[in-house]
Amino acid sequence: MGRIVVCIKGVPKPGTVKVDKETHTLRRESAELILNPPDRPALEVALRLKDQTNFEVIAISMGPPNMVPLLQKVYALGVDDIYLISDRAFAGSDTLATSRILAKALSLLSPFDLVVMGARSIDGETGQVPPETASLLNLPSITYVKELRFVDGKFIAIREDDFGEEEVEFSPAAVVSIVPEIDYVRPPSLKRLLSLKEITPKILTNAELNLDEASIGLSGSPTQVADVFEKTLVSRGEIFEGEPDELAEKLIEVLKEKGFLA
Amino acid sequence: MAECIFAFGQCFEGKLHPASLEILTPLREVADRLNKRLILIGLADDKEKFLAIPELKKLLADEVWYIIHPNLKHLPDDLCERVLVYLASEHKPYGIFFPATKKGLSVAPRVAGSLQAGLCAHVNAFEVKNGNLFLLRPTYGENIIAKLTSQRLPIMATLALNAFPIKEAEKEPLIKELKHPEGFDWSTKLTIKNFKPPKKEPSRLSVAKVVVAGGMGLKSKENFQMLFELAKILKAEVGGTRPAVHAGWVEADRMIGVSGVSVRPKLYLAFGISGAIQHTVGMEGSEFIVSINIDKEAPMMKMAHIGFVCDAPSFLKALLRKLKAKD
């Protein structure tokens, strides 16, 4: 039986984000966390492989302790085990430091056949962690995967590229990132939902990972925020109020005047 | 040491991706200010096809270095990483920059991981101060721009698409082939079994003269669909905000903003778009902006040359009814 590890992320619910004034990083402990939406199809892809080929699926997440309820919900979808990678020392990590932490955690879970992640997180939006983690583990990475199959001991992925669509074959182990184009995701299992309180994630702190503190967190991150500034907007135009009909008429007038309408 | 800057020149079958030309525009300026040589790195499988790329002689780069190997045909991510990391360790560049194409976003993090370098994403402006390079990118939903530095060399970033105009040089760059040493590992763990060119025409959004765009203020997919009717009448392209795309109202290739397309049309109509910075960086170059929004204080209303305080779906319905009546 092979093993698939799915890396998931809790992202602040849009609108609840706060930025730390000193470090200019996101304050995740204060935000309400939701599962990063592209991670849902990533989980589905892993669970379909499990249905098909009897892979064991483990979900891991790096984040603060308030990730636990999210991991429990993911357990209810049908994964076999959940892990939380959590330590104050990890806070403020950029994509390189994050990838170091994930790579180390994954190596503790090896041997595995596949690591699955969402193509990008909706808060950071970089999409860098899957290929960067793969590079640190010296594994191939296959990004923007739309479809994934396991045939005769090999994976076959359909992925989007800039000049077309590729069908790529590769042997385990590898890291894939999934684009959220999947038609159906399964609901949680009722039976599992009822037993959630007994399921707690295994915790991996830096005591287990044993990474040099200079290589993680804020101090292990080469990318530093020098400054943040707000864009200030000064109203520059004319504002009209009124009924839809009269406003629409006004717009048509303007568009004709400017030559956008005959 | 650290006297050159690498720019990734992404090519496929004798075509250079336009985004690789775009990134040379700001990098030319950075290289001049910091007194570095700007080098476009091209990886390809066919020397003749590569050298026949028409833009090559007009590149803003000082030099073009190209590496030819049959395995580079589809630019496999792992092999691209190995080739670029080798070049970086040989030449110790000050910076390595990629366009934010799918290939750029896939290869750059591998190179950064290997080199233990910082990597900034979606950079859309640079600043040079006292000999230091700062990278600017919009961030986190709020109206905030982050100014980033890297504590280590090389400085690495992926540069936003359509954020910079393509310019041509007057002087031809020096073009030379680099040979990797005997015994260099040209293998890749990825086997391309099949390759299909894109089924549908790429969206013409980025070059459209008129753009009609919608956000969550349109309230439903059905309402959003009305934008396509309006687009037909105005000979426009349809765009959407990130939340509208995530809601499934419009396809991802029509997303305008940081992780989508940048547009600079003559006319931009924003229906129910509040104006989060992720979106506005992708359209702030528009010549004339019209905003329809129920919230008078929304940032988009402030950016607009004309703002209509109105429920966006009701406005759109009224507008279509009137335009159709005139036909």
Per-residue pLDDT of chain B (327 residues; tens, 9 = 90+): 589 999 999 999 999 999 999 999 999 999 999 999 999 999 999 999 999 999 999 999 999 999 999 999 999 999 999 999 999 999 999 999 999 999 999 999 999 999 999 999 989 899 999 999 999 988 755 567 889 999 899 999 999 888 888 999 989 999 999 998 889 999 999 999 999 887 666 678 888 899 999 999 999 999 999 999 999 999 999 999 989 998 899 988 899 987 788 888 999 999 999 998 888 888 988 989 999 999 999 999 999 999 999 999 999 999 999 998 866
d(CA B97, CA B155) in angstroms, rounded, equals 8
Q: Using a CB-CB distance cutoff of 8 angstroms, which residues of chain A are in contact with residue B325?
A: none
Torsion angles phi and psi, residue B209, rounded to 5: -85, -30
Calculate how close chain A gets to B28, using CA atoms only, in Å. 23
3-state secondary structure of A199: coil
Domain ranges for chain A, please list them.
3-220
* CA distance, residue A52 to nearest chain B CA (Å): 22
Output DSSP code: residue A217: T
Q: Which residue in chain A is spatially nearest to B233 when comparing CA positions?
A: A261
ipTM of predicted assembly, 2 dp: 0.88
Residues of chain B with CATH 3.40.50.1220: 205-326
| Cβ contact B121:B160 at 8 Å | no
A134 to chain B: closest CA residue? B110
Domain A3-220: assigned CATH number:
3.40.50.620
- Dmax of chain A from CA atoms? 71
Nearest by CB to B77, from A94, A141, A254: name it.
A141
**Alpha-carbon span B237 to B227, nearest angstrom:** 9
Distance CA A40, CA A58 (A): 14
Q: Which of A124, A233, A238 sits opposite B303 (nearest CB)?
A: A233
CB contact under 8 A, A251 and B74: no
Contacts of A92 in chain B (CB under 8 A): none
Backbone angles phi, psi at B21, to 5 degrees: -75, -40
Give the class (CATH, top level) of B4-177: alpha beta
Return the number of CB contacts < 8 Å for A and B.
252
For residue A127, which of A141, A139, A137, A114 has the smallest C-alpha distance? A141
The answer to whether the CB of B245 falls within 8 A of the CB of B252 is: yes
Spell out which residues of chain B touch residue A231, defining contact as CB-CB under 8 Å: 143-145, 277, 280
Among A136-150, A185-199, A201-215, B8-22, the minimum mean pLDDT is found in A185-199
CATH value of B205-326 in 3.40.50.1220, 3.40.50.410, 3.40.50.170, 3.40.50.300? 3.40.50.1220
Per-residue buried b or exposed e for B290-324, using 16+ beta carbons within 10 Å of the residue's own CB: bbbbbeeebbbbbbbbbbbbbbbbbbbbbbbeebe
Query: Which three-class secondary structure state does DSSP give residue A248?
Result: helix
Q: Which residue's structure tokens are 């903003």?
A: B257
